[in-house]
Structure 1
Amino acid sequence: MKFLISLNKLMTCSLVLFLNLNCISSIYANNPRYSSAGIVISNILYVVDGDTIHIKDKDEWKKIRLQGIDAPEKDQAFGKESMRVLANCLYKAKKIRIEWTEKDKYGRLLGKVLVDETDCNLSQIKQGYAWHYKFYQKDQTDRDRQLYSNAEIESRKSEIGLWKEKCPTPPWGWRRNNILKCS
């Protein structure tokens, strides 16, 4: 497995290197295992649902929330299908790469999951098993924001996946209604 420090840290470190020969080791000693932005490469994983996976990093499991999408919950209509489609994207992968920039309030890494250069987040939308999560689209690159938005429009027009239904319930609405029912 490889971990890459962000380019900014590397450039900062290079500048400091002239003054401090321990710069490289201090990056690893004083910072968390993941830098503020990074790449994780793994091939051991567990699919939790249509927008969440767990990966094994050395001997520790990390939670990854697929950035830019929101998929049906497991108990929701199309939840199991969404999970199956994500698992199919990951199946037989030679290399699984997660590009991430931050953690969410639950401590999950927010990232784009790339399998042999296929964007599984985008694939979930293209196949009609996830929404482009517009509430958090500001966290995406401009390019990804446009790709994901256009993919949802095309999936809706084509009436594939959950778009076979006239008006599928988005996961954020489903979660809110189930929380209210439990109160």
Structure 2
Amino acid sequence: MRSIVTFFAIAVIGCSPSDPPPTSTATASVSVEQTVGNVAVQSQSRGSVQVSAGSADVSIDVDGVTIRKFSGRVVGVTDGDTLDVLRSDNSTVRVRFNGVDAPERGQPFGDNAKRYVSDTFHRSPDVTIIDLGQDRYGRTIGEVIAGGRRLGVDLVAAGLAWHYVKYSPDDTELADAERTAREAKRGLWSDPRHVAPWEWRKLSKDERDQLR
């Protein structure tokens, strides 16, 4: 049974864990679709919730659904859509990008996607995560904010990931980013044999080898 909670979070998303509470705010639009045992997210719809900026970690309660924001430092990049974040309490959280599916390791453009994310955090390792729950593997599903931007959108716009429509059907920003990358034949869209990761995961080893 599903419940949909849509909100417009007025959140402080551009500060590092060591920064003092800022005097201004940035915005992040998120729509949360909560399911039993999993959280599927994404949309750019608006409601209104005010988030206080008194600390690095913030919790928002909307109609019984708790959304958390936390800041940290990226200490590892698993692949193009998964990274490890070290929080201020020295705990490490594995974060899976919300609404984005990057090529798998061993899949064409998988290394490119991972390198794009690694290069981003090599330049600036501080990140803010809007925590939208956990997937069935125990990873945090999150909006990854780097330099005030949604990194997932930048990754899709660079042609290095797909908009994961199954989990974010109403995210127009991701949809527009993918359409622009497709039309420009950017990144993976330059390969006429491109295969979406959710289809790649179903292929046999022999079928994958033919596409490498």
Query: TM-score band (shorter)?
Result: 0.7 to 0.9
RMSD: 2.2
Which residue in the other structure is 1:53 paired with? 83
Q: Which has the higher helix share?
A: 1
Contact conserved, 1:94 with 1:116, CA < 8 A, in 2? no
**Displacement, 1:179?**
8.1
**Displacement, 1:8?**
4.4
Contact conserved, 2:74 with 2:83, CA < 8 A, in 1? no
Q: Whole-Å Cα distance in 1 between the matches of residues 205 and 84 of structure 2? A: 25
Which residue in the other structure is 1:150 paired with? 176
Q: CA, structure 1 residues 164+47, in 2 after alignment: closer, same or farther (shift >3 Å)?
A: same
Which residue in the other structure is 1:43 paired with? 73
- The alignment covers a number of residue pairs equal to 152
TM-score when normalising by structure 2: 0.66
Which residue in the other structure is 1:162 paired with? 188
**Displacement, 1:49?**
0.1
Q: Which has the higher strand share?
A: 2
SS at match of 1:48: strand
Q: Whole-Å Cα distance in 2 between the matches of residues 161 and 110 of structure 1? A: 25
Q: Whole-Å Cα distance in 1 between the matches of residues 178 and 113 of structure 2? A: 14
SS at match of 2:119: helix
Amino acid corresponding to residue 61 of structure 1 in structure 2: T
Q: Whole-Å Cα distance in 2 between the matches of residues 107 and 180 of structure 1? A: 30
Report matched runs for 1:125-136 at 5 Å.
Answer: 125-136=156-167
Report matched runs for 1:113-124 at 5 Å.
Answer: 113-124=144-155
Contact conserved, 2:60 with 2:68, CA < 8 A, in 1? yes
Q: 2:119 aligns with which of 88, 93, 100?
A: 88
Contact conserved, 2:159 with 2:178, CA < 8 A, in 1? yes
Larger Rg: 1
**Displacement, 1:94?**
6.3
Q: Deviations over 1:140-169 (max 9, x none)?
A: xx5xx0010011011000011101111301
Which residue in the other structure is 2:58 paired with? 4
SS at match of 2:117: helix
Which 5+ residue runs of structure 2 have no aligned equivalent? Answer: 1-16, 18-55, 208-212
